[in-house]
């Protein structure tokens, strides 16, 4: 009887492990990576922080050639690194009565003007008070389910300290249609930004791939390694001695795209705490960037919809301080 119980318990344990972990991620060490510490190698190749990599190594969830290893182990060419990385625990967003500025709405979708400082969806460190919490209350839970319970209705995102327009899908059909337009680059998104310095030309294009930063996995960078194409078009609206007011149009929509591209060409967005310089912060604690215009074909009705947001007060104040 005890033996049968142990077998059943073993089966339950195996089932639980299968539910908690996906198949191991595998990586084969190439010559250029030879000699790197195991935790540093895993942070680079498995998309986790170095601290998280060290924790997984200590727990035996990252192995080298099928055996446990120390985080300081110098990897060798042709080593096989296997990583059993538990999925992050998914939060469930709940409705909250938070004001949200709706500029367009029908039964299929809406366009809202996100304020600066508001996170788009719940995440570790920001479990509530987000735009999604506000939208769930406003729409009485009727949002597209394609992106799960944490990001219902969210078709695209903007950063916490970037203000401006976001389109939100209420139905899965609308979500799929909007996502297709983004993939086909027919979805128009324009921004305004204040950047450091003066541009040499009146307009231009940055065509440079973006991927995770080589050493800081929380940052993005222009890189050829594990990157995706990224294209940003810019046009000068005004200039002063130290700053330029730009209009920017996204051809692609990579994480931190405008911020990374502007820093890459030597004109970081003013106030950007990650890619910018305090010298050009204009006293702001976040990037001076807002999503001002959006244009798309309604995925259900076929109507051409264009929405433009009013310039926010913080941005107008920054323009004055910059002499623009």
- Catalytic residue set: 159
123 Cβ contact list (under 8 Å, min separation 6): 91, 150
Tell me how far apart the alpha carbons of residues 322 and 280 are, in angstroms, rounded to a whole number.
9
| Beta-bridge partner residues of 112 | 102, 166
Q: Find out whether 262 and 193 touch, Cβ atoms under 8 Å.
A: yes
Secondary structure element (H or E) that encloses residue 260, with its range: helix 257-264
Tell me how far apart the alpha carbons of residues 277 and 275 are, in angstroms, rounded to a whole number.
7
Which residue, 207, 254, 212, is CA-closest to 234? Answer: 207
Tell me how far apart the alpha carbons of residues 265 and 248 are, in angstroms, rounded to a whole number.
14
Which residue, 196, 191, 290, 193, is CA-closest to 243? Answer: 196
Half-sphere exposure of 245 (CA within 13 A, CB side): 15
In what order do the strands lie in the sheet containing 62-64? 25-28, 80-83, 62-64
């Amino acid at each position: 009887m005890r033996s049968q119980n142990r077998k059943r318990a073993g089966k339950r344990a195996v089932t639980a492990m299968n539910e908690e972990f996906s198949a191991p991620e595998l990586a084969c060490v190439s010559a250029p990576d030879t000699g790197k510490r195991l935790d540093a190698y895993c942070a680079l190749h498995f998309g986790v922080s170095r601290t998280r990599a060290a924790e997984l190594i200590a727990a035996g969830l990252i192995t080298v050639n099928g055996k446990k290893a120390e985080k300081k182990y110098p990897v060798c060419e042709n080593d096989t690194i296997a990583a059993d990385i538990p999925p992050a625990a998914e939060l469930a967003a709940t409705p909250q009565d938070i004001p949200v500025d709706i500029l367009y709405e029908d039964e299929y979708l809406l366009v809202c003007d996100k304020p600066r400082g508001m996170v788009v969806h719940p995440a570790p460190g920001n479990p509530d008070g987000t735009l999604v919490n506000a939208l769930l209350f406003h729409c009485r839970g009727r949002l597209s389910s394609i992106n799960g319970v944490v990001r219902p209705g969210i078709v695209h995102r903007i950063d916490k300290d970037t203000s401006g327009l976001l389109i939100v899908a209420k139905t899965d059909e609308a979500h799929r249609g909007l996502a297709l337009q983004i993939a086909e680059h027919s979805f128009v998104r324009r921004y305004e930004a204040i950047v450091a310095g003066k541009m040499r030309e009146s307009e231009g294009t940055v065509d440079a791939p973006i991927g995770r930063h080589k050493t800081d996995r929380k940052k993005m960078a222009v890189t050829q390694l594990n990157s995706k194409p990224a294209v940003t078009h810019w046009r000068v609206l005004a200039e002063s001695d130290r700053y330029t007011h730009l209009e920017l149009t996204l051809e692609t929509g990579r994480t931190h795209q405008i911020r990374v591209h502007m820093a890459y060409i030597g004109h970081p967005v003013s106030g950007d705490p990650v890619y910018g310089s305090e010298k050009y912060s204009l006293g702001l604690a976040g990037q001076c960037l807002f999503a001002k215009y959006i244009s798309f074909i309604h995925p259900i009705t076929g109507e051409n919809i264009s929405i433009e947001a009013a310039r926010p007060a913080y941005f107008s104040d920054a323009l004055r301080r910059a002499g623009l």
